[in-house]
Amino acid sequence: MNAAIDSLNPSGDIVVGVDGSPESFSALRWSLQQARLSGQRVNAVYGWSYSWDMGPEPANKADALRERIADELHVWVEAASKDMDLADEQIELTSFRAAASTALLEIGANAQQIVIGRRSMSRVARWLLGSLSSSLAEEASVPVTIIRSAQDEDIDVQDQIANALSPNDQDVHFVTPHVEIPRTARPIVVGVDGSDISRRALVFAAGLARLNDAPLHVMFFWRIKDLDTVPGYETSVAPMDVAQKYAMRRLEGFIDDVKLPKPLDVTPNAFHISPGKGLVSASRYARHVVVGSRGLSGLDAHFLGSVSKQVINSAECNVTVVH
């Protein structure tokens, strides 16, 4: 357990990508709130190149752009932290001459986590074109957290689809589940499957839940093929109720083996559904979803899909992918 915690570098910096967009402002504000609770340092990173338009081209491009960006970073951080009590030494501002993903990967190589805002693209566009969040989640060696802003661009597209398929020019709207509990009062959810990566995801989620005084729901999404041999049914298929009980026993044993810190409100859940669908469904009612990356990258991740990529593209709350 201690080795797993140490490998996640819980006292490291929170490295957050900023660029002045509403999404990056949400990511910056979330990072500062976590630092306020934990005492960690936040490193606000702007990756830039000459293609970024900041007005007339200066005579000394690099120095002038770096100075302008530093000024912008100060303005953004001041706005994001205006109602927070943070020490000056808890905030670092970094302008880095490189693409955003390169800057974050290099500066965040030894961070506790890298944080970015989720871009406003439809699910189809994110799948076809890719995104900074997906590429970072594939390439980073530290946890990557994707912050979802309040505006939900997917609902607009779903409204358009609903109207296109409705007869007689009816004006219809896609209906999302109505949940009275505010997002910040909902539980942290982590998906586990018994692997070492999901053990690390559980440790990270437990730290997040403890820091934010939130309940933790540990979820195992199973199918018969995932359970191997159910005791007593070595030569036949176990009934669903027997398989469900066996899945719960496996999950409870996994949680006990990790020995999570106390006090922590932990609830185990086992559901007969694919992990991607299960975690996306859970995200509608969760504060934050944590998932382990199983190592698919490149064309395999793009065409075959992965649980982490499904969650990044479709979750309705903040997401952390742990490696």
Q: What would the DSSP string read from start to end of 259-312?
A: ---SS--EEEEEEES-HHHHHHHHHTT-SEEEEE-----HHIIIII--HHHHHH
The verdict on 208 and 141 lying in the same domain is: no
Number of independent structural domains in the chain = 2
pLDDT of residue 25: 93
Is residue 157 a part of any domain in this protein?
no
Amino acid 75 reads V
Q: How many residues comprise the chain?
A: 323
Is residue 98 a part of any domain in this protein?
yes
Is residue 210 a part of any domain in this protein?
yes
pLDDT of residue 66: 72
Q: What is the pLDDT of residues 38-52, one digit of tens each?
A: 999 999 999 876 554
CB 4 within 8 A of CB 203: yes
Is residue 192 a part of any domain in this protein?
yes
pLDDT of residue 304: 37
Say which CATH number the domain at 313 has.
3.40.50.620
The verdict on 196 and 263 lying in the same domain is: yes
Give the residue among 35, 279, 31, 39 at the shortest CA–CA distance from 144: 31
Amino acid 44 reads A
Spatial separation of the C-alpha atoms in residues 20 and 28, rounded to whole Å: 10
- Name the residue range of residue 31's domain: 7-50+63-120+127-152
CB 107 within 8 A of CB 15: yes
Q: Mark the ranges of the chain whose per-residue pLDDT is less than 50.
A: 1-6, 52, 121-130, 296-305
Tracing tokens 């990566």 back to the chain, one arrives at 197
Token readout for 14 is 């929170």
Instruction: Look up the pTM and report it.
Output: 0.83
The verdict on 115 and 195 lying in the same domain is: no
pLDDT of residue 313: 85
